[in-house]
Structure 1
Amino acid sequence: MTVQGMPPPPPRGWTGWLMALLLAALVVASFITLDLKWAEFATPGALRSMAEFLGGFAPPELGTPFLLKTATGALETLAMSAVGTLLAVAAGLVLAIPGAGRLGMPLRGAVRVVLNVLRSIPELVWAYMLLIAAGLGPFAGTLALAAHTAGVLGRLFADALENAPLHAEHSLRTNGTPVLAAFLYATLPQTLPQMLSYTLYRWENNIRAAAVLGVVGAGGLGQMLKYHLSLFQMQPAATVILAMLALVALVDAASAATRRWLTK
């Protein structure tokens, strides 16, 4: 089609410009209201203090006993993230079906409220509350990850189910297939790759969150990091930080490889 034959572009409404202006005003107001002191970062005293602080991390602690302890903490952090994500996937699937309106619109609204509450509370707040009930250790951290991630995945799964084409399911139900079987064989397979992608992405996030949750006593590398930093033991802390970076890089690589395998 030639340029002359193409239809004219649709007219731009004023709402888009208004939203852009409001966003720009919000950004400007944020910079004005915050007391940002950029120049203090470049003062000789600040640079000297940062150099001394960073210098205390070198060299990392590489003794065999401490490396074994760090490896145990890394496995605990990995286990927390994996189990928390699996629990969240199970809960998210259960909540996504009514959350997608499959069981009626009134129940959809109620489930959406539950999902909003679950994901609105950060993992750290969940951990604080669950530590009171379950005590210190990875169990509370795992439940905290599962509670927050269930709200996130439940919403994403519900949106995927709502947006899935229903022609195949309607065709099966017209030919006498039960409702559950039609959903499992027609709609769910269409959304499964998208759900797996969401799950892998949230697992990556939960690796980082599990390391942070250890700071409040939920076990893993985060608890080790808090302990050594509170005692100003910088070299062991450097080893723990390097273990965190290695663990995140390993999970990122495994997740990327899994995505490539799923999209073949």
Structure 2
Amino acid sequence: MKSRLPPPPARDWTVISLMLLVLLLIVASFTSLPLKWREFFTLDAVHSVLELLAGFAPPELATPFLIKTGWAAIETMAMSALGTLLAVAAALLFSLPASGRMGRTARAAMRAMLNVLRSIPELVWAAILLIAAGLGPFGGTLALAAHTAGVLGRLFADALENAAPLPEQTLRTNGASASAAFFYATLPQTLPQMLSYTLYRWENNIRAAAILGVVGAGGLGQMLKYHLSLFQMQSAATVILAMLLLVAMVDGVSFALRRALTR
């Protein structure tokens, strides 16, 4: 007897509709935005850019200024690290109700709060919190923590929801308490993923902390705004190079930690 071929898989019209919607959005974006490609590649535009870049050379390398830039880089690093740690602590607390472990009502309410936290950019959070905390790194740290808590809370909640339920159910069946079953069965499954998310957000917070200084949150960003506003381009070039070195260092440390965790 001839074996029958399996029927072809049914088309998922939902996925096709979403893809068409995304394609339509891309086409609408190109047609609605006034993209002036011709003016961007004119000789005048290229000459203006080259003239601006020439003003950054050579960078300011005086020892007092380098020491000042180094302290600002340490301040930026501290803002990002402390803001990330505060966000992780809040995200762990938020992820439990957001993952549906405390009922559907708590899940919906917590997801809505996480949406609010992460939908407000760090610059807006900094502008709000600097009014309460005053100028300096404290407001910037709180701004990073508020936005990152919304991002990590959602990611942690999704990781908990996607964890295999059988190990925790087995421990509960054998008499373990709910908290013990969670800490010994579900959390170990999701911990590597949570650590990877945390390291990635720390990398982003380094960049964000450097930008938050523009609104007065201290660190390298505040130095950059000061020197650019005075058209001290060589000093600004040194600050920009410090930002690049700081981001590269954090990227290397994060890559090494992620590699060690996956072994």
Bin for the TM-score computed over the shorter chain:
over 0.9
Q: What secondary structure is seen at the aligned counterpart in 1 of 2:250?
A: helix
Please tell me the root mean square deviation across aligned C-alpha atoms, in Å.
1.4
* Aligned residue in 1 for 2:135: 136
CA-CA distance at 1:35 after TM superposition:
1.1
Supply the AA of the counterpart residue of 1:178. S
Q: What secondary structure is seen at the aligned counterpart in 2 of 1:150?
A: helix
Supply the AA of the counterpart residue of 1:133. A
Cα 1:91/1:6, change in 2 over 3 Å: farther
Query: Matched residues in 1 for 2:116 and 2:255: separation?
Result: 30
Map residues 11-90 of structure 1 onto 2, 5 A cutoff: 11-90=10-89
* Aligned residue in 1 for 2:197: 198
CA-CA distance at 1:116 after TM superposition:
0.8
Q: What secondary structure is seen at the aligned counterpart in 1 of 2:58?
A: coil
| Deviation larger for 246-255 or 168-177 | 168-177
CA-CA distance at 1:6 after TM superposition:
7.1
Query: Matched residues in 2 for 1:117 and 1:65: separation?
Result: 43
* Aligned residue in 1 for 2:122: 123
| Deviation larger for 216-225 or 167-176 | 167-176
Task: Tell whether 2:186 aligns with 1:183.
Answer: no
* Aligned residue in 1 for 2:219: 220
Query: Matched residues in 2 for 1:6 and 1:233: separation?
Result: 73
* Aligned residue in 2 for 1:159: 158
Query: Matched residues in 1 for 2:116 and 2:9: separation?
Result: 39
Gaps of 5+ in 2: none
Query: Matched residues in 1 for 2:14 and 2:188: separation?
Result: 38
CA-CA distance at 1:32 after TM superposition:
1.4
Cα 1:7/1:242, change in 2 over 3 Å: farther
Cα 1:22/1:177, change in 2 over 3 Å: closer
Query: Residues 85-121 of structure 1, C-alpha deviation per residue, up to 9 Å, x if partnerless?
Result: 0000000000101111111221111111111111111
* Aligned residue in 2 for 1:105: 104
Query: Matched residues in 2 for 1:159 and 1:6: separation?
Result: 38
Gaps of 5+ in 1: none
Percent identity of paired positions between Structure 1 and Structure 2:
72
Query: Residues 116-167 of structure 1, C-alpha deviation per residue, up to 9 Å, x if partnerless?
Result: 1111111110000001100100000000000000000001101111111121
* Aligned residue in 1 for 2:241: 242
CA-CA distance at 1:7 after TM superposition:
3.9
Cα 1:14/1:181, change in 2 over 3 Å: closer
**TM-score (normalised: structure 2):** 0.95
CA-CA distance at 1:168 after TM superposition:
1.4
CA-CA distance at 1:12 after TM superposition:
2.4
| Deviation larger for 12-21 or 157-166 | 12-21
Query: Residues 158-204 of structure 1, C-alpha deviation per residue, up to 9 Å, x if partnerless?
Result: 11111111211111111211111111111111110000000000000
**TM-score (normalised: structure 1):** 0.95
Query: Matched residues in 1 for 2:225 and 2:116: separation?
Result: 29
Query: Matched residues in 2 for 1:37 and 1:21: separation?
Result: 27
Query: Matched residues in 2 for 1:68 and 1:6: separation?
Result: 73
Q: What secondary structure is seen at the aligned counterpart in 1 of 2:71?
A: helix
